[in-house]
Chain A
């Protein structure tokens, strides 16, 4: 149980284009999902908390107009990197918690490697 998937696993795009990453909870409904980015040899950096049916909560320093998050259903959250630039190249990972679990464990997707040329 508690399986989270991400799509795509890898994406290469040109500078200035937008990229959408999907995060799905496969065997549970997730009212809350989280988006992280991770630079090489560094730990996870929380970007935003995505709540189903409401606006995402962004961490300080994360541009909400650049990283658009939509959590339209209980099993799907999307992150769109708008007008991507090479500095946006990173490993993006989503996670979800099981509602009502009370334990706050996060279950992670496999990640998406974004390379902006």
Chain B
């Protein structure tokens, strides 16, 4: 059964303290893996798409990487405005499988 698991559920960091969020997946046919950011009471905002193992993408303080089993979203020197829930989704044979998200809180 296709499954996407995100960890940790919640992560509290001090401003400037770098860390990583994990998205592990078990799917039958990976077509792409997506990262989104969601602020409270808003729709998800698209961040990245990764297609194959070894691929990396960066945007400001965020970098997403992909292996055959998991993806990491690295956040470098985060700021309070990076606080949000980060969602991972995997396109498995044209069906999106969503993770439950990681709630990231950056304290000033």
Binding site for B on A (CB under 8 A): 2, 4, 6, 42-44, 46, 91, 93, 95, 103-111, 113
Do most interface residues of chain B lie in helix, strand or loop, or is the interface mixed? strand
Q: CA of A43 to CA of B4 in the docked complex: distance in angstroms?
A: 11
Contacts of B98 in A (CB 8 A): 43-44, 46
Q: How many A-B residue pairs have CB under 8 A?
A: 46
Cβ-based interface call for B78 (8 A)? no
Complex contact A42–B100 (CB within 8 A): yes
Q: How far is the CA of A93 from the CA of B87 in the complex (A)?
A: 14
- List 8 A-B pairs, minimum CB-CB distance, nearest first: A108-B43, A43-B100, A111-B43, A108-B44, A93-B43, A43-B98, A110-B43, A109-B43
| Residues of B contacting A44 in the complex (Cβ-Cβ under 8 angstroms) | 44, 87, 98
Enumerate chain A residues within 8 angstroms of B94, measured Cβ to Cβ.
104
User: Hey, which bits of chain B sit against chain A, CB under 8 A?
Assistant: 31-32, 34, 36, 41-46, 49, 87, 91, 94, 96, 98-101
When distances are taken between beta carbons in the complex, the residues of chain B under 8 Å from A6 are 43
Q: Are B41 and A111 in contact (CB under 8 A)?
A: yes
Q: A103-B49, A104-B94, A105-B34 are in contact. Are A110 and B100 (CB under 8 A)?
A: no
Contacts of A110 in B (CB 8 A): 42-43
